[in-house]
Amino acid sequence: MPSLLTRFSDDARLALGTLTDRASGFVNPTLRLGVTGLSRAGKTVFISSLVHNLLNGGRLPVFEAVRSGRVSKIRLEPQPDDAVPRFQYEDHIAALVGDRVWPDSTRAISQLRITLDYESASGWNRMFSPGRLSIDIVDYPGEWLLDLPLLTQDFRAFSNKTAGRAKTGIRAELSTNWLSLATSLDVTAPAVEADAQRLAEAFTRYLQACKSDERSLSTLPPGRFLMPGDLEGSPALTFSPLANLPEGRAPKGSLWAMMERRYEAYKTHVVKPFFREHFARLDRQIVLIDALQAINRGPESLLDLEGALTDVLASFRPGTNSFLSSFLTKRIDKVLIAATKADHLHHESHDRLERIAARLVQRAIARIGVSGAGLEVMAIASVRATREATVNHDGHVLPVIVGTPIAGETINGETFDGERKTAIFTGDLPENPDSLFQDLESKPEESLVPDLRFVRFRPPHIEETGGGLKLSVPHIRLDRAMQFLFGDRLA
């Protein structure tokens, strides 16, 4: 198996990077917090709200350092990495708070540094620590994480795995074009660029179909096929796994050899730099999941999310993954899995959502065989776009949520204009998550998909103080997430 990672230069560069981090950490302690999740999971909204709440004295009762008044000053600072785009905090907040629209989708990595001055809670620490912590928040697509396992797979293993999965469940329907093209070509014949392109296009379309809104299957690697960025059209993205590879090695100059080479180039030019320059330097990590969407889309989507989570967690817990453990000089010691957008549910269902998310993770953990230490699961809403109320309906009191649906959303045939508020009864999540999962396993087609109604709401209207200052963004349990992710570093 070609393990390019063991090359000396990589090793040295990684060690050097960690040294530089340590040297600068000596002057000013820093914590690198990775924020990830599949596309549309809520990364941009999470970071924007977290920073806004810290900068604007948000209501954060569970975040101990702030609640007890030990944090004296919080500010944004220039980030240390010159080659990484800055997280456009001001633009995102202007959209969210000013225009009450959700920020645009961001499809690459970005970073923001926020620095807190605090007084340590212990007299001993006060004598020795500068009482300053910089948090480097790194926003990166979860799809990139799902690429890490490729580093241990050669082209044959990758092809077998991808083609195998493409034949199961709904994927089977979506992959027919690509698979029939892949099986119709003679992979040992001399390579023709046009074939490579057609095949890569068909493969990309299959991945796109899996990810589309109606299906919302969690993606499979390679992650950059869905978000090519500046690599669009380059050979490293113009390949496809092949089905039914013959025994032996790829004949020189064949389509097979060409695909294999490009696959290796993808690993060298895309996956490894991400691993080395970003992933290997993280201290803490939050993984956002849109569990509500998966529940709503049905059993296959939920199982798929579970599969993706298993792969994601496997990269954080390198015990079982020897190539990662040998390179991680720094270990990610805390991982938070957060089910976002809980403001779509009445608070009675928040704990249920948390239990469903915990159930997803629990099985992932059982599968990769790691202990749960340093791992926590929460249901949160980075931005609370709704408030709660009750209505009387046929003599029953129903818990409802009230918000302003986005212009164009329809409920029972009524289309909203983006100004008018409405109350909706979302429906209940099952009290016992096992019921949902048992059904998934035995008879997915008869599974109990709770009858939930979701509409997309506009971000909330935010009150101003007497002095014309905007208050901070309302949230659900964001303070709990902060306490877990960096509360101990402010002790």
- The residues binding ligand GTP (CB under 6 A) are 37, 39-45, 102-103, 105-106, 141, 340-341, 343-344, 381-383, 385, 456-457
Rounded to 5°, the CA angle 71-73-77 comes to: 125
In whole angstroms, the minimum distance from the beta carbon of 255 to ligand GTP comes to 33
C-beta of 106 vs 218, nearer to ligand GTP: 106
C-beta of 250 vs 287, nearer to ligand GTP: 287
Q: Give the residues across from 339 on adjacent strands.
A: 289, 379
Structure tokens at 61: 């009762």
User: Binds 45, which of Mg ion, ligand GTP, none (CB < 5 to 8 A, cut-off by type)?
Assistant: ligand GTP
Question: What's the rounded Cα separation, in Å, for the pair 445 and 440?
Answer: 8
In whole angstroms, the minimum distance from the beta carbon of 29 to ligand GTP comes to 28
Question: What's the rounded Cα separation, in Å, for the pair 70 and 117?
Answer: 9
N- to C-terminal Cα separation, the chain: 46
In whole angstroms, the minimum distance from the beta carbon of 43 to Mg ion comes to 5
In whole angstroms, the minimum distance from the beta carbon of 92 to ligand GTP comes to 8
C-beta of 291 vs 490, nearer to ligand GTP: 291
User: Binds 110, which of Mg ion, ligand GTP, none (CB < 5 to 8 A, cut-off by type)?
Assistant: none
Structure tokens at 429: 């999540």
139 Cβ neighbours under 8 A, 6+ residues apart: 35, 36, 43, 44, 47, 87, 106, 109, 110, 111, 112
User: Binds 70, which of Mg ion, ligand GTP, none (CB < 5 to 8 A, cut-off by type)?
Assistant: none
Amino acid found at 303: L
In whole angstroms, the minimum distance from the beta carbon of 224 to ligand GTP comes to 13
Exposure of 393 by Cβ count < 10 A (0-12 exposed, 13-18 middle, 19+ buried)?
Answer: exposed
User: Binds 218, which of Mg ion, ligand GTP, none (CB < 5 to 8 A, cut-off by type)?
Assistant: none
User: Binds 343, which of ligand GTP, Mg ion, none (CB < 5 to 8 A, cut-off by type)?
Assistant: ligand GTP
C-beta of 447 vs 472, nearer to ligand GTP: 472
Task: Give me the phi and psi of 394, to 5 degrees please.
Answer: 50, 45
The region that residue 351 occupies, defined by phi over 0 for left and psi between -120 and 50 for alpha, beta otherwise, is alpha
For residue 83, give the 3-state DSSP assignment.
coil
User: Binds 382, which of ligand GTP, Mg ion, none (CB < 5 to 8 A, cut-off by type)?
Assistant: ligand GTP
Residue showing the smallest CB distance to Mg ion in the complex? 44
C-beta of 87 vs 158, nearer to ligand GTP: 87
H helices of 28-168, where? 43-55, 64-67, 89-93, 123-128, 142-145, 155-166
Q: Give the residues across from 287 on adjacent strands.
A: 36, 337
In whole angstroms, the minimum distance from the beta carbon of 112 to Mg ion comes to 13
For residue 243, give the 3-state DSSP assignment.
coil
Is residue 357 within 8 Å of 337, Cβ to Cβ? yes
User: Binds 457, which of ligand GTP, Mg ion, none (CB < 5 to 8 A, cut-off by type)?
Assistant: ligand GTP
C-beta of 106 vs 404, nearer to Mg ion: 106
User: Binds 31, which of Mg ion, ligand GTP, none (CB < 5 to 8 A, cut-off by type)?
Assistant: none
What CA dihedral angle connects 310, 314, 316 and 320, to 10 degrees? 150
C-beta of 138 vs 199, nearer to Mg ion: 138
Closest CA relative to residue 63, chosen from 55, 54, 72, 76? 54
In whole angstroms, the minimum distance from the beta carbon of 48 to ligand GTP comes to 8
In whole angstroms, the minimum distance from the beta carbon of 425 to Mg ion comes to 30
In whole angstroms, the minimum distance from the beta carbon of 481 to Mg ion comes to 17
26 Cβ neighbours under 8 A, 6+ residues apart: none
C-beta of 45 vs 166, nearer to ligand GTP: 45
Q: Which residues bind Mg ion (CB under 5 A)?
A: 43-44, 106
C-beta of 110 vs 162, nearer to ligand GTP: 110
C-beta of 102 vs 118, nearer to ligand GTP: 102
Question: What's the rounded Cα separation, in Å, for the pair 226 and 205?
Answer: 9
C-beta of 48 vs 483, nearer to Mg ion: 48
244 Cβ neighbours under 8 A, 6+ residues apart: 163, 183
In whole angstroms, the minimum distance from the beta carbon of 50 to Mg ion comes to 13
233 Cβ neighbours under 8 A, 6+ residues apart: none
In whole angstroms, the minimum distance from the beta carbon of 106 to Mg ion comes to 4
